[in-house]
Amino acid sequence: MAEKPYFCGDSSANARSVEPTYIGMNRTKHASKRNRPSYKSLLAAGTGLSLISPAMSQSEAVKSASQPQQGSQPNILFILADDLGYGDLGCYGNSVVQTPVIDSLAGAGLRFTDFYAGASVSSPSRGCLLTGLHTGHATIRGNMCRVGGLEGEREGIPGKVRRTNLQPEEKTLGDLLRGQGYRTCLVNKWHVDGFDTTATPLDRGFDEFYGWLVHEPRSHNFYPDVRWRNRERYEIAANQNGNHADHNTDRATDEAVAFITRMGKGATLEGCQSAASQASGQPFFLYMAYNAPHVPLDAKDTLLYAGKGLPDTDRRYAAMISHMDASIGRLMNTLREQGMADNTLVVFASDNGGAKAAQVETLPLSGVLKGWKGDLWEGGIRVPLVASWTGYIKPGTQTAEPAYFPDFFATFADLTASHTSATGDGVSLKPLLTGEVTSLPERAMYWEQYPRVGISVALRKGPWKVIRQQMDQPWQLYNLKDDVGETTDLAAKYPDIVAELSRLAEEAHEPSPYWPVYPEK
Ligand SMILES: [Ca+2]
């Protein structure tokens, strides 16, 4: 199908309630797994809150939403980079990679030094962001599942793999915010659909979707010749036959600019009457999930880094980040042009740490941190986070409060006055963002990672982090305030701390039907 102008969403999606009706695949087996008889909330351990089922609290959050307060809620632009390391930005100490726009967001807002993704790889991390659940409770705990799910091709890799997806009963940020009167849109990378064609963003709380889905391997690169526009798969003529003409960072940015513009002016394109009627005064949630700087390092050009003595890989890696940075500048300009810059919370983060696969030679990538994407060392999960919101977040500020992806469900519930007491495994960052407080109640944050067999686990509480690479290996303990590089294992010196944190970690793990810890042979 040929390209045509952007249009404003899927009519069936627009008509959906905040309780999605699942159609298609047989989910009987999965539906029965979400009983949580042994679940104990990490929040309860850390804050004294009552025990709450994450799934129940999400549902409650959506159902108990107050009526939308037109004009009183901020727009939310959540920008996610892909495999961007902790040391990849100027505002995080990189002196080579030029990121003036993201640096200016940090200068205009709050920069987190101790912020973490939901997981050390893409799909589970994005699932944690969207659902507010950590990887001990979430359905998606790895990119490929060990058993169950659906089989399909993985881009560029022979053979079949299995994936699973966000389940209908898992409420997303899209569900939450749509329930609060927002128009919700995902641009570019979803990556929580597995190979299930009925688990698209439009089936999980988003009114609009422009991007790619994992069952279409041809779309997973920087010059894709196939893309999705809501439920329509279309060919990108300029990139047919391997042509490198229409870069994905530009295309994704165009789609986001078009969405913001529609929300600013009201829809004027043919066929967008339904959006036009909603646009005036309706807040938006735009989840802008870029590919960059994930491999392959298909930079549009590397002119910015010519003559700087960088190895070719580093030059292309840096150029991809700067291209994304400039594209974020286009989004910010569009917000200004539409008069929405002051009433938009802008968040920038990365889905996991820097990737060893990028083969960067001289750039810091993980900065001072140990490890890479795929590790539970800090380099795999600690990521940049900056947030700006004119008049609400104090410019040029920094916080060392530990926080992570599951917190955004609670944060956005709080921000939009959903009047829910708790949501999932996270806590609201709103008081921290707005300067109402400078510290949060100490709580535990939890991560799982699945190597070829077994399970790796990490948990942070306060300055302390326990990590175990396999169940039959001993816990290690690090004090991240003194030793952010995780060089000195203090487990033998502080056995009581190991005992407390390892107990919390063991309580945080709920068995998964897709990632059994010891798969059958
Ligand atoms: Ca990633």
Record the pTM.
0.86
CA of 294 to the centre of ligand 1 (A): 7
CA of 121 to the centre of ligand 1 (A): 5
CA of 324 to the centre of ligand 1 (A): 15
CA of 386 to the centre of ligand 1 (A): 18
Task: Report pLDDT for 77.
Answer: 98
CA of 351 to the centre of ligand 1 (A): 5
CA of 378 to the centre of ligand 1 (A): 15
CA of 67 to the centre of ligand 1 (A): 36
Task: Report pLDDT for 28.
Answer: 26
CA of 82 to the centre of ligand 1 (A): 4
CA of 117 to the centre of ligand 1 (A): 10
CATH fold, domain 11-508, is Alkaline Phosphatase, subunit A (3.40.720)
Which of the two residues, 398 and 31, has the higher pLDDT score? 398
DSSP H helical segments within 364-438, as ranges? 378-381, 407-415, 430-433
Say yes or no to pLDDT of 61 above 60. no
CA of 65 to the centre of ligand 1 (A): 32
Across the chain, mean pLDDT equals 85
pLDDT band at 271 (very low <50, low <70, confident <90, very high): very low
CA of 24 to the centre of ligand 1 (A): 28
CA of 404 to the centre of ligand 1 (A): 15
pLDDT band at 420 (very low <50, low <70, confident <90, very high): low
CA distances from 260 to 87, 149, 174, 424 (A): 30, 35, 16, 29
What count of Cα atoms within 13 Å lies in the side-chain half-sphere of residue 308? 20
Say yes or no to pLDDT of 62 above 90. no
Q: Are strands 464-468 and 476-479 parallel, antiparallel or unpaired?
A: antiparallel
How many helices, marked H, and strands, marked E, lie in the chain? Answer: 14, 18
Task: Report pLDDT for 2.
Answer: 40
Domain boundaries, the chain: 11-508
CA of 109 to the centre of ligand 1 (A): 25
Say yes or no to pLDDT of 224 above 90. yes
For residue 81, what are its two tokens? Answer: 């980079």
For residue 453, what are its two tokens? Answer: 């067999």
pLDDT band at 16 (very low <50, low <70, confident <90, very high): very low
CA of 374 to the centre of ligand 1 (A): 9
CA of 207 to the centre of ligand 1 (A): 24
